[in-house]
């Protein structure tokens, strides 16, 4: 299996690039943000719980997120691989993912980190707010919150994969196509 973690701060382009990677490599896309938004929209119990965190730019608690992710992974029989987008976002999530994949006799192939300077991220999120309809995109204070949470809780996950020699930095500035080419090259070098 080819299992990729697509990593990077809010606004780095994970969603856009994921679409290209799943198409090119035939992978299953698991975006925890998208899955939570699906639950929000359908007003499930999980959605109601997640909303209280998401709308403030906070993380949904690990145990809730890990449980949901496990359910999603085990829905697929014989996948070619997964692209994890927005997960793991904390070290406990990364440990839980390793354990889950071990049970499936597989492992993470590579973590691709889209690196984008903070000023550029803020501009992108402000622009996205005009079309996304996401409450967490609309307010500069909430955007700042998400970037702080990223720096504090999520950035350390990079070291977790670097310690396994699986972290590859990708320059996230440039045209969408040129970034896709960088990602393809990094994946093909690891396959």
Binding site for ligand ADP (CB under 6 A): 10, 32-33, 36, 53-54, 57-60, 65, 86-87, 89, 93, 136, 146
Nearest distance, CB of residue 191 and ligand ADP, angstroms: 26
Nearest distance, CB of residue 83 and ligand ADP, angstroms: 13
75: annotated active-site residue: no
CA dist 148 and 81 (Å) reads 31
What separation in angstroms does the CA of 80 have from each of 2, 3, 16, 83, 144?
7, 8, 20, 10, 37
Catalytic member of 14, 37, 124, 182? 14
Closest C-alpha to 83, from 23, 33, 22: 22
Residue 165 exposed, middle or buried by CB count within 10 Å (0-12, 13-18, 19+): exposed
CA dist 161 and 108 (Å) reads 9
User: What DSSP state is assigned to residue 28?
Assistant: E
89: annotated active-site residue: yes
152: annotated active-site residue: no
Catalytic member of 37, 89, 124, 182? 89
Closer Cβ to ligand ADP, 153 or 186, answer by number: 153
Catalytic member of 51, 70, 126, 134? 134
Closer Cβ to ligand ADP, 29 or 191, answer by number: 29
Closer Cβ to ligand ADP, 25 or 72, answer by number: 72
146: annotated active-site residue: yes
Catalytic member of 126, 128, 158, 166? 128
Q: What is the Cβ-side half-sphere exposure of residue 2, based on CA atoms within 13 angstroms?
A: 19
Contact status, residue 3 vs residue 161, Cβ threshold 8 Å: no
128: annotated active-site residue: yes
Nearest distance, CB of residue 114 and ligand ADP, angstroms: 10
Closer Cβ to ligand ADP, 32 or 180, answer by number: 32
CA dist 175 and 177 (Å) reads 5
Closer Cβ to ligand ADP, 30 or 191, answer by number: 30
User: What DSSP state is assigned to residue 153?
Assistant: I
Catalytic member of 37, 124, 146, 182? 146
Q: Which residues are catalytic?
A: 14, 89, 128, 134, 146
């Amino acid at each position: 299996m080819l299992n990729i973690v697509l990593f990077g701060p809010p606004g780095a382009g994970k969603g856009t690039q994921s679409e290209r990677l799943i198409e090119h490599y035939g992978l299953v896309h698991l975006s925890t943000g998208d899955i939570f938004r699906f639950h929000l929209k359908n007003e499930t119990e999980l959605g109601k719980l997640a909303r209280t965190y998401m709308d403030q730019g906070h993380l949904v608690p690990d145990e809730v997120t890990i449980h949901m992710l496990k359910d999603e992974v085990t829905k697929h029989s014989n996948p070619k691989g997964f692209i994890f987008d927005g997960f793991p976002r904390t070290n406990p999530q990364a440990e839980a993912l390793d354990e889950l994949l071990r049970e499936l006799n597989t492992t993470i192939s590579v973590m691709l980190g889209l690196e984008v300077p903070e000023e550029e991220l803020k501009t992108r999120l402000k622009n996205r707010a005009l079309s996304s309809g996401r409450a967490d995109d609309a307010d500069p204070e909430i955007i700042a919150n998400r970037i702080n949470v990223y720096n504090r809780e999520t950035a350390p996950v990079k070291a977790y994969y670097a310690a396994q020699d699986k972290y590859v930095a990708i320059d996230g500035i440039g045209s969408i196509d040129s970034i896709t080419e960088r990602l393809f090259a990094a994946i093909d070098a690891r396959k």
